A and B are shown apart, each in its own frame.
Chain A
Amino acid sequence: MQLTNEEKRMKAGEYGPGTQRAMDLLVKYGDSFDAEQFAPISYGHISYDFCPEEFWNLMTEGVGKTPHRVTTHPSYSPEVWKQWGLSLADNWAGEHERKLKRFLELGWLRTETCAEYLLGIMPRKGDIVSMGGSCMQVANNSLFGARVDRMGILISLAAAVCGRTPLMGLLVPENRFASHMVELEDLDVSNWTIAHYHCLGYYIGDQVPGFKPVAVNGLPPNLPFDFARALVISMPTSGSVTLGHIVGTTPEAPTLEAALGGKKPEHVIRVGKREMTQTWERLNVWDDNTVEHVAFGCPHATIDEIGRIAALVEGKKLKASLLIGASAPVEALARRQGWADIIEKAGGHFEPVCPSITNPFTRPDIAGKNQAKSAATDSARSAHYLATVSGVKVFFGTEEECVNAAITGRWKGEVPRWK
């Protein structure tokens, strides 16, 4: 890679050992992809809680306040977990607190969410952002037209420390055209909910090799934001898709031709009733219908979603534990609306945690003897990680089916009758 004088100074250690190590890693990383130079980032996004403490200390040693904004992924709340009676919560406290203290010293923003765009922190079209967390990578790329490359959690910390990322992959405009195209065959989407779009995204992610951009054709134009978001964020769960154009909805796909860059697609993926049914069934991993936990907020909940859940649980007493993953500002708005209190009165909880990978109720290494052994969700991404990371039984269905399960403790969800 060709380094600027500033980058050479970073690599020579003039900005301290953390920056030097971070730059050394980024150069090796860029070289392995034949990147020729770095690009400055508009902002960086990292995860301190997912980052092993030794690596965190190596990268941040001697680093001062950064001139660029850095934000963070969903976090842990060991103190709150303890109040909820989760018996192994204490194991998580020390490391979390040490890293958080350093994070704040760096002047970085404690957004603690995988949906920062709900806080007004969103890239503009063309902005270069370095980030860990495949669900916001695909959201920022697809829904806002930002330039975000696929990247791991640890490398994203190195990029945030240095304020730059190798110019490669999806940062390069000509690499952003879709090579794979999805055609909906015999599906009427007029009664689809968020869960239906999750299911479609999960199927697509599984069908696209590597992280090639994909274009979804045949959906109604200007798809509601929550639907578009559900569709793209479940793609990098079953696979590695990092850019999903939705023709007629997302900024780089006003037309199919624009999404494909005027070329013919390399592959066409056809989706019909059969594929949707198989995927919906695959996301359900359970034998008896007892539901011990319900997880919402993958990705972190919107205020509309919280409002709908509040209306459904008002005056009820929940039989299953219910967690809504939401950022603190969205939770604060829900509280001002009176919705947070309604949900908490029914027995629900809010937390800026990842309700899928580190769901404190289902993770045996957090909940201990109080672990919920089964969980319902309307997110395919959540279903995937609850089953594989927590190893619990999973019910996948609509928001309404999930709320009913929280109230009754029983699953009555059904595979949709596709129109």
Chain B
Amino acid sequence: MEIRAHMVSAGTAEGEAVVYKGPFSFLGDLDPATGKVPVPRHQLEGHVLANKVFVFTTGKGSSGGDFAAWVAKKNGNAPAAMICLESEPVLSGAVIVTGIPTVDKPEKDVFELIHTGDYIKVDATKGIIEVVGK
């Protein structure tokens, strides 16, 4: 199944999906040393985001999100690709600077169609999300 979307940051990547119906900040929500979500009581606490295809709503928080993304990427602990409903400047800057393939504004309901653990291919340059399946 294919879902069309809008390119935020070019490139292609694939991997297992992690789906979270909420906003995300690279500063605070991703431990650059482990690639996991470190936030106590967070729905994804302890989940690995490194090298996954992360599906979420939008960006949030500090303008330091981009330097946090840079450190995570250098450590090999950034997501492989990102899919969100609507990006915002700090998140877009972060994925463009670090080269993480990212799309937003998907034309179908990604929270309905993609589940944590599904295998996903993202061609951000062409604006195509492919849901391969479990």
Contact = CB atoms under 8 A, between A and B. Distances in A.
A156 interface: yes
Given A150-B89, A210-B58, A32 B63 contact: no
Interface string B71-90: 10010000000000011111
A405 interface: no
B86 A210 contact: yes
Contact of A240 (B60, B66, B70, B71): B60
A258 interface: no
Contacts of A240: 59-61, 88, 90
Interface in B7-42: 7-10, 28, 39
B90 A151 contact: yes
A401 interface: no
Contacts of B61: 236, 239-240
A55 B64 contact: no
A169 B62 contact: no
B70 A55 contact: yes
Given A149-B89, A154-B70, A211-B88, A134 B60 contact: no
A367 interface: no
A50 B69 CA distance: 12
B28, B90, B94 — which one has the most chain A CB atoms within 10 A of its CB?
Answer: B90
B132 interface: no
Q: Looking at chain A, what size class is its interface with the partner chain?
A: 20 to 34
Given A29-B93, A29-B96, A155 B66 contact: yes
A152 B87 contact: no
Contact of B63 (A28, A151, A169): A151
Interface in A9-51: 25, 28-29, 32-33, 50-51
B97 A32 contact: no
A202 to B, nearest CB: 13
B63 A150 contact: yes
Contacts of B89: 29, 33, 149-152, 155, 169, 211
B97 A155 contact: yes
B112 to A, nearest CB: 20
A150 B59 CA distance: 11
A317 B97 CA distance: 48
A55 B64 CA distance: 14
Given A28-B96, A32-B96, A150 B90 contact: yes
Contacts of B65: 152
Interface of A: 25, 28-29, 32-33, 50-52, 54-55, 132-134, 137, 149-156, 169, 209-211, 236, 239-240, 357, 388-389
Q: Which 5 interchain pairs have the tightest Cβ spacing?
A: A152-B66, A155-B93, A152-B93, A154-B66, A152-B90
